[in-house]
């Protein structure tokens, strides 16, 4: 069983996000980057599958500038067997189609049985990369997995639907699955893992070797949402006040 886990490095949710001077992206040097939390769950799920089957290989695949080596090391320390770093310095976060394209050649060449992604990235939150890769590689694809069960040549996946509904689907392998957060408890690397990670292989694929495509989406301008405070003093007798409050609850705050 050969499992790829796609890991993205994103600005930590606790960081304040300053804008760059051209106001088209955040000012990266002053931001703390961490492993995209949903990807952490995907990695844990891959490690659990490998442990349960007591065989197989977990490969961390990450795209980005040299700083992503930090999350790659983290993945290796947690127990991934090796890693592939796809170099990319461009600002393509905003274009999942292009990102998916760049991944395809490498993923095809490796012949993975299973490709796991976090359901979305915490920066732009598109939630498309895993699905697009599945489509481009012609693999059966399931999203929002909250439980997995690998069978012989198949994988059963419990998907989260709306309003507390779930769905079990069975897919033939190879498959691409996006993992919902919270389905497991990601581990902390043991010291052995941290030390061992230094010796594990990281294959670096230069940007020029990646499939190039046109950037279809780009960022025009980003800005901090403006907030305003509006205070309304409700006057009148009790009935009128209640009526107005109910109206506000219904139409403004939309309590149903």
Q: Which listed residue (15, 20, 69, 124) binds another protein by CB under 8 A?
A: 15
- Provide the CB-side half-sphere exposure for 42 (13 A, CA): 30
By CB under 8 A, residue 19 contacts another protein: no
Nearer to another protein, 21 or 163 (CB): 21
Minimum CB–partner distance for residue 184 and another protein (Å)? 12
First to last CA, the chain: 48
> Taking contact as CB under 8 A, which single stretch among the options 14-22, 42-50, 117-125, 221-229 is the one that binds another protein?
14-22
Q: Which listed residue (65, 127, 140, 189) binds another protein by CB under 8 A?
A: 189
Q: Which listed residue (162, 164, 191, 220) binds another protein by CB under 8 A?
A: 191
DSSP letter string, 126-146: ---HHHHHHHHTT--EEEEEE
By CB under 8 A, residue 28 contacts another protein: no
> Taking contact as CB under 8 A, which single stretch among the options 27-35, 48-56, 93-101, 157-165 is the one that binds another protein?
27-35
The answer to whether the CB of 178 falls within 8 A of the CB of 127 is: yes
By CB under 8 A, residue 14 contacts another protein: yes
Nearer to another protein, 190 or 215 (CB): 190
By CB under 8 A, residue 253 contacts another protein: no
- Which tokens hold the place of 126? 């598109």
By CB under 8 A, residue 165 contacts another protein: no
| Bridging pattern class, strands 82-87 and 202-205 | parallel
3-state secondary structure of 60: strand
- Which tokens hold the place of 251? 């139409």
Minimum CB–partner distance for residue 32 and another protein (Å)? 6
Minimum CB–partner distance for residue 76 and another protein (Å)? 15
Minimum CB–partner distance for residue 13 and another protein (Å)? 9
The answer to whether the CB of 119 falls within 8 A of the CB of 227 is: no
Q: Which listed residue (67, 192, 203, 250) binds another protein by CB under 8 A?
A: 192
Q: Rounded CA gap, 225 and 29, in Å?
A: 22
Minimum CB–partner distance for residue 34 and another protein (Å)? 5
Nearer to another protein, 16 or 208 (CB): 16
Total number of residues shown for the chain: 256
- Other CB atoms closer than 10 Å to residue 14's CB: what's the count? 7
The answer to whether the CB of 107 falls within 8 A of the CB of 4 is: yes
Q: How far, in Å, are 72, 145, 221 from residue 184 at the CA level?
A: 20, 11, 37
Query: Where does this chain bind another protein (CB under 8 A)?
Result: 12, 14-16, 18, 30, 32, 34, 185, 187-192, 194-195
């Amino acid at each position: 069983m050969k499992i790829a886990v796609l890991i993205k490095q994103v600005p930590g949710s606790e960081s304040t996000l300053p804008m760059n001077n051209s106001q088209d992206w955040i000012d990266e040097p002053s931001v703390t980057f961490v492993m995209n939390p949903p990807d952490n769950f995907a990695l844990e799920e891959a490690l659990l599958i490998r442990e349960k089957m007591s065989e197989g290989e977990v490969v961390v695949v990450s795209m980005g500038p040299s700083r992503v080596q930090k999350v790659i090391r983290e993945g290796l320390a947690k127990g991934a067997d090796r890693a592939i770093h796809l170099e990319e310095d461009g600002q393509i976060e905003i274009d999942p189609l292009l990102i998916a394209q760049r991944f395809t050649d490498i993923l095809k060449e490796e012949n993975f049985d299973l490709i796991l992604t976090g359901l979305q990235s915490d920066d732009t939150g598109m939630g498309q990369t895993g699905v697009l890769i599945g489509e481009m590689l012609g693999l059966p694809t399931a999203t929002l997995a909250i439980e997995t069960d690998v069978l012989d040549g198949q994988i059963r996946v419990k998907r989260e639907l709306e309003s507390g509904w779930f769905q079990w689907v069975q897919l033939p392998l190879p498959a691409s699955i996006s993992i919902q957060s919270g389905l497991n408890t990601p581990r902390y690397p043991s010291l052995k893992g941290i030390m061992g990670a230094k010796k594990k292989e990281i294959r670096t694929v230069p940007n020029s070797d990646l499939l190039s495509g046109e950037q279809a989406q780009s960022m025009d301008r980003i800005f901090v949402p403006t907030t305003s405070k509006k205070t309304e003093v409700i006057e009148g007798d009790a009935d009128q006040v209640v009526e107005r409050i109910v109206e506000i609850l219904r139409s403004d705050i939309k309590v149903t």
